[in-house]
């Protein structure tokens, strides 16, 4: 019986974690332990970040996905800014600093952030 429960648990967990695509990046687990994120190893501008996430069968994380109700959940030990999805009606795009959880707006052409994919 224990063996069957273990197999069932693995079948439920593995599709969400083990097979996530993140070519050219690094899989991280948010402090909320509810989702894995893919962070690019190279910095890029906002449009490149969108394309890179899509190439990994993901999308640029929204503020809600990145912060999960409060940005204290994304302190993952990466000392970089990361692009998140653009809020409609704005000229700039938001980025979250992954060490301090500080949200700021940057020009879309700025190429010093990594991509944060959900």
In contact, 112 and 32? CB cutoff 8 Å = no
Mean pLDDT of 38-63: 92
For the whole model, what pTM was predicted? 0.72
Comparing 47 with 70, the larger pLDDT belongs to 47
Domains of the chain, each with CATH number or no CATH: 22-117 (3.10.100.10)
Comparing 63 with 16, the larger pLDDT belongs to 63
Tell me the average pLDDT of the chain. Answer: 75
Give strand ranges (E) for the chain: 25-29, 36-40, 81-83, 93-97, 103-106, 114-117
Cα–Cα distance for residue pair 100/98, rounded to 1 Å: 6
Mean pLDDT of 87-96: 67
Alpha helix ranges (H) inside the chain = 2-17, 46-55, 63-67
In contact, 91 and 67? CB cutoff 8 Å = no
């Amino acid at each position: 019986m224990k063996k069957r429960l273990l197999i069932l648990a693995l079948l439920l967990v593995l599709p969400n974690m083990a097979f996530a695509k993140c070519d050219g990046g690094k899989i991280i687990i948010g402090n909320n332990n509810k989702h894995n994120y893919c962070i690019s190893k190279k910095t890029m501008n906002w449009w490149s970040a969108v394309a890179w996430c899509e190439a990994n069968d993901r999308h640029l994380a929204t503020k809600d996905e990145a912060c999960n109700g409060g940005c204290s959940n994304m302190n993952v030990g990466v000392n970089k800014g990361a692009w998140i999805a653009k809020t409609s009606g704005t000229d700039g795009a938001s980025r979250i600093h992954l060490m301090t959880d500080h949200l700021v707006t940057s020009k879309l052409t700025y190429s010093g952030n990594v991509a944060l994919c959900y």
